[in-house]
Amino acid sequence: MDVQAWMDQYDAAVTTAIRRFGWHISYVGGGCSCPGCSNVDDGPTFAYTVGMFGLGHPELLIFSVTPETALAVINQLGDRIVKGETLLPGFEIAVEGFEPRIVPEVVPNAGEIVFDANLFYDRPPGFSVPLLQLTYSDAADRFPWEAEYAGPHQPRPGTFAA
């Protein structure tokens, strides 16, 4: 399969998921899955939505969780957004089945991260869809901005690019 055919199939899968569920979740990490790609990613894994912008809400981003955890957290929050909830930056939220506390934070350089979302909405990186990072606490209930944080790597908003 050539790269263009793979990209076309991927774009179709994203569109189908958004039409069916309201959003798609892109999980990034461990290298490229595109045919012929040899890129190996040394950075943290992350997942982000494509489709929340179409619901009038910023897209969502979470770092350093398993694909299963990303799906559980994002899908639960997506269901709440569909029902009218707005996640506000700086205001703590809880997700059933996910022990850490979560604080959404505005990501100022979204165009350097959410490539699938900007492609879907036909937006250039400089005019990216808005993005909220779902920053979560460690086992001792500390956030990455607090002294002695000992949880998974969660880059501070604005310091990470994909």
pTM metric for this prediction: 0.89
136-162, pLDDT tens digit by residue? Answer: 999 999 999 999 999 999 999 999 999
69-124, pLDDT tens digit by residue? Answer: 999 999 999 999 999 999 999 999 999 999 999 999 999 999 999 999 999 999 99
Total domains, the chain? 1
* Residue 151 covered by a domain: no
* Owning domain of residue 10: 3-136
* Residue 159 covered by a domain: no
The residue-averaged pLDDT of 47-66 equals 97
* Residue 132 covered by a domain: yes
Q: Give the per-residue pLDDT at 82.
A: 96
Q: Give the per-residue pLDDT at 12.
A: 77
Q: Which residue has the tokens 């607090």?
A: 146
* Residue 84 covered by a domain: yes
Long-range (24+ apart) CB contacts under 8 A made by 62-70 are 62/133, 62/134, 62/136, 63/133, 63/152, 63/153, 63/154, 63/155, 63/160, 64/152, 64/153, 64/154, 65/152, 67/27, 69/98, 70/25, 70/27
